[in-house]
Amino acid sequence: MRKKNYLWYQFWRHTVVGNGLRFFYSTVKTSGKEHLPKDKPILYVPNHQNSFMDALHVATTTKPVIYFLTRAQAFKPDIIGKFLWSINMMPVYRVRDGLKSVQKNNEIFEKCIQYLKNKDTVLVFAEANHNLKRRIRPLSKGFTRIAFGAEEKHNWELDLQIVPVGVNYSEHRTGGNAVQVNYGKPIPVSNFRSLLEKDEKEAVETMKEQVSDAMKELVFHVEDLNEYPVHKILWDDLEPDNFKIIDPEIANPRIRKTHEHITPELIEKAKELTNIADKHDVDLNELACGKQFGFKDFVLVPFYLFSLLNNIIPYQPIRYLIRNVIRDNAFDSSIKFLSSLFLLPMFYVLVSLILLFTGVDGYFILGYLALSVLTATLFIRAKQLFSPRSGRKLRKKKPGLYDKLQSHLQSFKQLRESILNE
């Protein structure tokens, strides 16, 4: 039986968000969808690096209607909260929201259990919050409470399946890049029944460990947080091929091979290099690999210029939000995507109306609208190509520091080549 908001949900999921994502990213790949259970309740447990974008990618790459657990802060003001409820998002409260608010989670968890009873799908971010680091962080026990609660309430007859999910981005904070969504093999909750009946705490920890281990196989994962700066430089910043960054079958063996080469001195050098780049807004990937201006770019130059000039005005409010209002970098892509979804069409219509009232020919206006839509996706690439080269300001103002950065970068390039040739 269809839910009362089914058509509304599907309109936003496929027509608006699904098509929007195809414009915003250059490539969205999926793998492992053959593992997804049919006619069984599913609890999706994806990694959480990139704010709202993670949920959107899971929602638009699978068929089931999904109910999402989302932090309660996103439901303010009330008008936004009502909209989020209408597209199957439910608030989860944290201690910082107050004790009374946290108690509301019981009602939300009961809703989740009811949805699972109806063989629907629920999505939980078990890492609890987002973080741009390419690794799986410790999982909270909230998802185990839902999983065990659902099965126990219905006498272990649901056959609830936990599906680990890995969402990988070649670059988190901007569009025009590649994304790969990996679905792992389902983990039946019934596997933990006997252990739960003996020792609830051990059952919870065992489930968390198994799900975490499965997720680590689906993403670019660095186990040792202290070593993270080294791996980030070697296999992300110095990688010219986006598809190798988002493929854990390529990235993770490289990470394991690197472990034996890591020393305390190398870690300190990586931290210093990262700090210099962050402080002076230097893109290490661009500095190491260049902007890679190809034949396709040469052909598209006129369209890049049109897109840059046409979209630079509506982009300013988005830029202001990112730089001055919401300073969490993990929200950058979400703000750019969601704002562009509404601001760009509104701007194109506004310009068209101005042209219409100034007596411009209707065919010209239609041409403008068509060209605006078709070239909107080129704006990100145009900004990359026509902006000053990364590190240019640093080289001009602090040449000594720039040379130090280049020296460190060169030593990491040599280490990378050495590891790849082993």
pLDDT at residue 1 in the model: 43
Q: What is the pLDDT of residue 99?
A: 65
- CA dist 245 and 255 (Å) reads 11
d(CA 91, CA 362): 47
Residue 422 has a pLDDT of 86
Q: Which domains are delineated in the chain?
A: 6-216 (3.40.1130.10), 225-290+395-420 (no CATH), 295-388 (no CATH)
Model pLDDT, residue 3 = 67
Question: Do the bridges between strand 187-188 and strand 42-46 make them parallel or antiparallel, or are there none, so unpaired?
Answer: unpaired
pLDDT at 388: 78
Residue with tokens 């010219």: 240
How far is Cα 422 from Cα 420, in angstroms, rounded to an integer?
A: 6
Q: What is the pLDDT tens value at each position of the chain, 422 positions in all?
A: 456 688 999 999 999 999 999 999 999 999 999 999 999 999 999 999 999 999 999 999 999 999 999 988 888 889 999 999 999 999 998 766 666 766 788 899 999 999 999 999 999 999 989 999 999 999 999 999 999 999 999 999 999 999 999 999 999 999 999 999 999 999 999 999 999 999 999 999 999 999 999 999 999 999 999 999 999 999 999 999 999 999 999 999 999 999 999 999 999 999 999 999 999 989 999 888 876 788 899 999 999 999 999 999 999 999 998 988 888 899 999 999 988 899 999 999 999 999 999 999 999 999 999 999 999 989 988 988 888 777 888 899 899 999 999 999 999 999 999 999 98
Say what the pLDDT of residue 97 is.
66
Q: Tell me whether strands 161-169 and 178-183 are parallel, antiparallel or unpaired.
A: antiparallel
In this structure, how many other beta carbons lie within 10 angstroms of the beta carbon of residue 389?
13
The pLDDT assigned to 2 comes to 52
